[in-house]
Amino acid sequence: MSPTSHVEVTFDEFLEVLGFDQSLSVLNQLFKQLDTDGSGFLKIDEIVNAINSTGELAKYRQKLVDLFVALASDADKKLSYHEFVEAWTKKKDEVTQSKSC
Protein backbone atom coordinates (compact mmCIF):
# COMPACT_ATOMS: atom_id res chain seq x y z
CA MET A 1 0.00 0.00 0.00
CA SER A 2 1.48 3.35 -1.01
CA PRO A 3 1.64 6.24 1.46
CA THR A 4 -0.91 8.13 -0.63
CA SER A 5 -3.52 5.35 -0.73
CA HIS A 6 -6.76 6.02 0.99
CA VAL A 7 -8.11 3.49 3.41
CA GLU A 8 -11.69 3.75 4.53
CA VAL A 9 -13.09 1.90 7.50
CA THR A 10 -16.82 1.36 7.87
CA PHE A 11 -18.45 1.95 11.22
CA ASP A 12 -19.09 -1.77 11.63
CA GLU A 13 -15.42 -2.53 10.90
CA PHE A 14 -14.41 0.07 13.45
CA LEU A 15 -16.68 -1.47 16.07
CA GLU A 16 -15.38 -4.91 15.20
CA VAL A 17 -11.84 -3.71 15.96
CA LEU A 18 -13.14 -2.55 19.34
CA GLY A 19 -14.69 -5.96 19.90
CA PHE A 20 -18.29 -5.18 18.97
CA ASP A 21 -20.25 -7.58 16.80
CA GLN A 22 -23.32 -5.51 15.96
CA SER A 23 -23.22 -1.78 16.39
CA LEU A 24 -26.55 -0.46 17.66
CA SER A 25 -27.51 -3.58 19.55
CA VAL A 26 -24.19 -3.53 21.37
CA LEU A 27 -24.38 0.22 22.01
CA ASN A 28 -27.84 -0.28 23.47
CA GLN A 29 -26.51 -3.01 25.77
CA LEU A 30 -23.53 -0.87 26.75
CA PHE A 31 -25.79 2.10 27.52
CA LYS A 32 -27.94 -0.07 29.77
CA GLN A 33 -24.83 -1.37 31.52
CA LEU A 34 -23.56 2.17 32.12
CA ASP A 35 -26.98 3.46 33.25
CA THR A 36 -26.68 1.86 36.68
CA ASP A 37 -29.67 3.69 38.19
CA GLY A 38 -31.97 2.82 35.25
CA SER A 39 -32.96 6.47 34.71
CA GLY A 40 -32.51 6.34 30.95
CA PHE A 41 -29.72 8.92 31.19
CA LEU A 42 -26.01 8.70 31.88
CA LYS A 43 -24.74 10.97 34.62
CA ILE A 44 -21.22 11.95 35.62
CA ASP A 45 -21.03 9.53 38.56
CA GLU A 46 -22.04 6.61 36.32
CA ILE A 47 -19.32 7.46 33.79
CA VAL A 48 -16.69 8.01 36.50
CA ASN A 49 -17.55 4.62 38.03
CA ALA A 50 -17.20 3.00 34.61
CA ILE A 51 -13.87 4.75 33.95
CA ASN A 52 -12.56 3.45 37.28
CA SER A 53 -13.91 -0.04 36.58
CA THR A 54 -11.53 -2.95 36.46
CA GLY A 55 -14.11 -5.21 34.83
CA GLU A 56 -15.27 -5.50 31.25
CA LEU A 57 -15.80 -1.74 30.91
CA ALA A 58 -12.10 -1.09 31.55
CA LYS A 59 -11.26 -1.95 27.94
CA TYR A 60 -13.36 1.04 26.85
CA ARG A 61 -11.66 3.49 29.20
CA GLN A 62 -10.67 6.02 26.52
CA LYS A 63 -14.14 5.97 24.99
CA LEU A 64 -15.60 6.47 28.46
CA VAL A 65 -13.33 9.48 28.98
CA ASP A 66 -14.69 10.86 25.69
CA LEU A 67 -18.21 10.35 27.06
CA PHE A 68 -17.25 12.15 30.25
CA VAL A 69 -16.01 15.13 28.23
CA ALA A 70 -19.26 15.16 26.23
CA LEU A 71 -21.26 14.93 29.45
CA ALA A 72 -19.34 17.73 31.13
CA SER A 73 -20.15 20.06 28.25
CA ASP A 74 -23.81 18.99 28.05
CA ALA A 75 -26.25 21.65 29.28
CA ASP A 76 -28.30 19.35 31.52
CA LYS A 77 -25.25 17.30 32.66
CA LYS A 78 -26.75 14.02 31.55
CA LEU A 79 -26.67 12.06 28.30
CA SER A 80 -29.70 10.48 26.69
CA TYR A 81 -29.25 7.34 24.61
CA HIS A 82 -29.17 9.45 21.44
CA GLU A 83 -26.48 11.75 22.89
CA PHE A 84 -24.55 8.67 24.06
CA VAL A 85 -24.54 7.13 20.57
CA GLU A 86 -23.52 10.47 19.06
CA ALA A 87 -20.64 10.90 21.54
CA TRP A 88 -19.53 7.26 21.27
CA THR A 89 -19.41 7.35 17.47
CA LYS A 90 -17.84 10.82 17.20
CA LYS A 91 -14.32 9.40 17.21
CA LYS A 92 -15.38 6.98 14.47
CA ASP A 93 -15.96 9.92 12.14
CA GLU A 94 -12.58 11.42 13.03
CA VAL A 95 -10.79 8.09 12.47
CA THR A 96 -12.51 7.54 9.14
CA GLN A 97 -11.66 11.08 7.99
CA SER A 98 -8.03 10.86 9.06
CA LYS A 99 -7.60 7.52 7.26
CA SER A 100 -9.08 8.95 4.07
CA CYS A 101 -6.79 12.01 4.00
Among left, alpha and beta (phi > 0; psi -120 to 50; other), residue 86 is: alpha
Instruction: Indicate if the alpha-carbon torsion angle 46, 51, 53, 58 is positive or negative.
Output: positive
* The residue count for the chain: 101
Q: Please tell me whether the overall predicted TM-score, pTM, comes out greater than 0.85 for this model.
A: no
pLDDT exceeds cutoff 50 at 98: no
In tens, the pLDDT along 27-42 reads 888 899 899 999 999 9
Q: Domains of the chain (ranges plus CATH)?
A: 11-94 (1.10.238)
In tens, the pLDDT along 2-32 reads 566 778 877 667 766 766 555 677 788 889 9
Residue type, 24: L
pLDDT recorded at residue 36: 94
